[in-house]
Amino acid sequence: MLQLGYEIMRRRTEICAIEFSDIIHIPKARYALNLRSSKTDQYGEGKLLPISETLVELINNWKHKANLEHGKILRGFFKGKSIRDKLNPSSINNILKQLQAEAQINDMGELSGHSFRVGDAVDMFSKGIPLERIMLRGGWKSEITAMRYLRSWQEEYWSQD
């Protein structure tokens, strides 16, 4: 979930909707995810999102270990350890908060589903990647929206001092 969210920079509902069949092998030994619809794609035209081979390996390992063939990649668990058909998007925030507490990472503000989008945007910006490319990756059509994500991180980070 962490690698998937970070790489594709999408909303919780979009991350939870991704299925194994959405992984596409593209030329030059590369991979993409077919994002079939999103908040900003009301007509369901879809969009291919490049992903790393590492992410594909993680997904395939999960698929094998969980003995899954198709359906949603992210899934919840029942208390008896059986696997549900999907993960509820609201569970992402709870999982991130739990992981943050277990890792004792308290100096960066509370993690949430938006942390995927903010984290990769900030990392890309820190590497000198142009804002236009960050916007394409994150699915933002407006510079104002992309900058709001970058500023929210900056304000959160600097307010910790």
DSSP 92-148: HHHHHHHHHHHHT--TT----THHHHHHHHHHHHHTT--HHHHHHHHT-S-HHHHHH
Domain borders along the chain are 2-158
Summarised one tens digit per residue, pLDDT across range 19-68 is 999 999 998 879 999 998 777 777 777 889 999 999 999 999 999 999 99
Mean pLDDT of the residues in the chain:
86
Quote the pLDDT of residue 105: 85
Angle at 23 between CA 36 and CA 132, to 5 degrees: 65
What contacts 24+ positions apart, CB below 8 Å, involve 34-37? 35/8, 35/10
Quote the pLDDT of residue 157: 52
- The CATH class that applies to domain 2-158 reads mainly alpha
Quote the pLDDT of residue 146: 85
For residues 92 and 80, give the distance between their C-alpha atoms in angstroms, rounded to a whole number: 20
Q: Rounded mean pLDDT of 143-149?
A: 84
Would you say residue 161 has pLDDT above 70?
Answer: no
Q: At 110, give phi and psi (nearest 5°).
A: -80, 130
Q: Rounded mean pLDDT of 114-130?
A: 87
- Torsion over CA: 147, 150, 154, 155 (sign): positive
Candidates 90, 126, 94; CA nearest to 11 is 90
Neighbours of 133 (CB within 10 A): 11
Would you say residue 127 has pLDDT above 70?
Answer: yes
For residues 57 and 43, give the distance between their C-alpha atoms in angstroms, rounded to a whole number: 31
The strand pair at 47-51 and 30-35 is best described as antiparallel
Which position has the higher pLDDT, 91 or 28?
A: 91
Which position has the higher pLDDT, 38 or 9?
A: 9
Least confident of 17-21, 62-66, 101-105, 107-111: 107-111
User: In the structure, what pLDDT confidence band is assigned to residue 88 with cuts at 50, 70 and 90?
Assistant: very high
